[in-house]
A and B are shown apart, each in its own frame.
Chain A
Amino acid sequence: AQKITQTQPGMFVQEKEAVTLDCTYDTSDPSYGLFWYKQPSSGEMIFLIYQGSYDQQNATEGRYSLNFQKARKSANLVISASQLGDSAMYFCAMREPYSGAGSYQLTFGKGTKLSVIP
């Protein structure tokens, strides 16, 4: 079963508008971490934002915020005031378990391609 599901293969957003990229996850572990990465056409994965399973508040980093709904197992990325440079692939990833044994490897979704329209 897929652990990370990103249901939007592609999204379009007008420049300066906000956009939400969806991510749902599946885990039975109470301790986990959720990450979003951006991958431009150059290929490098750029870390954007992190949310821990025990965090009480939604994570924010500049124009990025994470809408974390634990009961629904969703961790949607919100990008405010979109810029042309935001056009890229966006990947949601989960790390489990949070502590103890385990490699902290990331499990990624298939990604969403965001295109920002001028």
Chain B
Amino acid sequence: DTGVSQDPRHKITKRGQNVTFRCDPISEHNRLYWYRQTLGQGPEFLTYFQNEAQLEKSRLLSDRFSAERPKGSFSTLEIQRTEQGDSAMYLCASSILTGGEADTQYFGPGTRLTVL
């Protein structure tokens, strides 16, 4: 059973450039989440999908951020016109909606973004 995968693992970009990250969830998981983690902090929620529908977005997700999950499988997170404040670890997590209590989220290894 493969876990959540993310690509790339590291991205260095110049301010003003666009970047796109990919997340492949655990295959049968219908829920997918994006979080952002800055140095010394816990992850903060950005957005989530149930199947292909984006059902919630955090106020942290400015207009420069967009996320998609076109066929309810993998997801992409794009940041346009990157700023130095976007430098962070971007974490993807997935879970399966079963009606059970836990709905545990399993995380990928993250994409570390550095904006110069």
Segment from B62-70, B75-83, B102-110 that makes contact with A = B102-110
A103: interface (CB < 8 Å): yes
Please pick, from B35, B43, B106, the residue contacting A47 in the complex, using a CB distance under 8 A. B106
Q: Contact at A50–B102, with CB atoms within 8 Å?
A: yes
Given the interface contacts A37-B107, A43-B110, does A105 sit within 8 Å of B101 by beta carbon? no
Q: How many residue pairs between the two chains, A and B, have CB atoms under 8 Å in the bound complex?
A: 65
Given the complex, which residues of A lie within 8 Å of B31, measured CB to CB?
104
Q: A98–B42 Cα gap in the complex (Å)?
A: 21
Given the complex, which residues of B lie within 8 Å of A109, measured CB to CB?
42
Q: A4–B109 Cα gap in the complex (Å)?
A: 23
What size tier do the contact residues of chain B reach?
A: 20 to 34
Q: By CB atoms of chain B within 10 A, which of A4, A45, A109 has the most?
A: A45
A interface: dominant SS: strand
A residues lining the B interface (CB < 8 Å):
4, 33, 35, 37, 42-47, 50, 52, 91, 93, 95, 98, 103-111
Q: Contact at B101–A33, with CB atoms within 8 Å?
A: yes
